[in-house]
Amino acid sequence: MEGIRTIHAALLGAGTVGSGVYKVVQRQKEEMPFKTGANLEISKVLVRDASKERPGIPKELLTENWEDILSDPEIEIVIEVMGGMEPAQTYMLEAMKAGKHVVTANKDLLAEHGKILMETAKANRVDLMFEAAVAGGIPIIRPLKNSLAGNNITEVMGIVNGTTNYILTKMSKEGMDYQEALDLATELGYAEADPTADVEGLDAGRKMAIMASIAFNSRVTFADVYTEGITKITSEDIRYAREFGYEIKLLGVARNTETGIEVKVHPMLISADHPLASVNDAFNAVFVHGDAVDDTMFYGRGAGELPTASAVMGDLIDEVRHIIGNTIGCNVCGCYKQLPIKEIGDSKSRFFMRVQVEDRLGVLAGIASVLGNNGVSIAQVVQKRSKKEGMAELVVITDEVVERHFQDALTVFCSMSTVKEVSSLIRVYQ
Ligand code: NAP
Ligand code: HSE
């Protein structure tokens, strides 16, 4: 629209998310003046290789030189969607020091260096927004920071990685093998540049650190999060879990307990009746429990080009409104507490175990007694015939036990001559 101010922004990155953001900014072109009181224009796009074709993005906007953006006084917003630690961190810090607002989807950086980024934003009276960093298109950062700020939040948990949820869904519902499902998730733009971050639970761990920091008002970094991925989950585990009435999901759980903050990401059996059990494909869902609101649930697409661009665009619209309303510099880091972090060994879990044992009289009773004598009681057990002669497979679900005690019991259990192998060990959500 002519006759009103145009706010200029630069995109750092034109991959899955960057190209989505460019598209959504174009789609919203006519609406922007009505929504914000200004036009929004992406006037430069930083990439590694400017000679590569970028469908939909005019070639003249592309640059390989960060200085072109940093030194351009017209650019008021920098949208960092290139990913990784460096040079992304340097660029974001330099942009804020130059008075530019930053919108980012970079959970890796926020989960490790959130403090310095927030402090730099505050010192330079600029905004740092990151709705897209957690759970793709689902609005969860703003609800935690604003709408639910009147609560003492005690738990944030859910499915926060699209790639692994897609893989587990395909393995579980379509019998697809792990690698084929991962290749498809990569092709669809869900996976990180290095998908190890997804399948080993690191990406989910970073998102949990960010959410826990905001929810509990106490800094939690990625190093504080216990992580395990899905690479050891087999189709047998999925099948047996089903027989017991469970689905297997990669869950992130953050709890603010009387003895400290517990933050972990690992595969879990979750009852088929639980709403999270039917969150499939690249969808994510986050549960938040607060002392006033009770339970809330947020659900939507957790990864991909346009859902993630939707979250970035929300931040951009907010930022343009801030600039027009002259309300810049409203960043306040909410981490005013210093709560201790609990070790995984001190948390309590139930366990699902698949164990190969000798198939003879009294073995099951012996196993139950060794586990029982070491403080682990069995809630459910099923014996399966093994393909190997003279062997049987036991599928066990324990009652709740302190993890440290369980590991001690497991050491004794594994030393029994009748126990040949623990094939799987997965926690059970309650
Ligand atoms: P991507 O497809 O790999 O795209 C990265 C883009 O950044 C590419 O255009 C690349 O340029 C550019 N780039 C990378 N390093 C650069 C450097 N040193 N200098 C200049 N340009 C550089 O990644 P993505 O999936 O869009 O993810 C981007 C960010 O969003 C990451 O932080 C990711 O964790 C986050 N995120 C992704 C999703 C998702 O669903 N994919 C969802 C939420 C958040 P070239 O094209 O020239 O190589
Ligand atoms: N790789 C991430 C995922 C992208 O699969 O969830 C969204 O953060």
> What's the CA-to-centroid distance between 193 and ligand 1, angstroms?
7
Nearest ligand 2 atom to the CA of 165 is 5
pLDDT level of residue 330 (50, 70, 90 thresholds): low
Lowest mean pLDDT among 61-75, 204-218, 323-337, 363-377: 323-337
Q: Which residue has the tokens 């010192």?
A: 123
Show the ligand 1 pocket: residues with CB < 6 angstroms. Answer: 13-18, 46-49, 52, 81-83, 87, 105-107, 132, 136, 189-190, 192-193, 303-304, 308
Read off φ and ψ for residue 6, nearest 5 degrees: -110, 125
207, 249, 264, 342: the catalytic one is 207
Q: Is 44 a catalytic residue?
A: no
SS3 category, 77: strand
pTM: 0.96
The pLDDT of residue 374: 86
pLDDT at 12 over 70: yes
Give the number of whichever ligand sits closest to the CA of residue 187.
1
- Average pLDDT on 328-351 reads 88
pLDDT at 331 over 80: no
Lowest mean pLDDT among 181-195, 354-368, 416-430: 354-368
pLDDT at 66 over 80: yes
Picking from 230, 135, 236, 136, the residue whose alpha carbon sits closest to that of residue 181 is: 230
The pLDDT of residue 3: 86
SS3 category, 199: helix
Give the C-alpha separation, 46 to 42, whole Å: 11
The pLDDT of residue 2: 80
Q: Where are the alpha helices (DSSP H) in 103-201?
A: 107-123, 141-142, 162-174, 178-187, 196-199
Nearest ligand 1 atom to the CA of 48 is 47
pLDDT at 387 over 80: no
> What's the CA-to-centroid distance between 15 and ligand 1, angstroms?
5
pLDDT level of residue 35 (50, 70, 90 thresholds): very high
pLDDT at 346 over 70: yes
Nearest ligand 2 atom to the CA of 190 is 5
The pLDDT of residue 333: 81
Give the number of whichever ligand sits closest to the CA of residue 312.
1
pLDDT, tens digit, 9 for 90 and up, residues 267-285: 999 999 999 999 999 999 9
The pLDDT of residue 350: 97
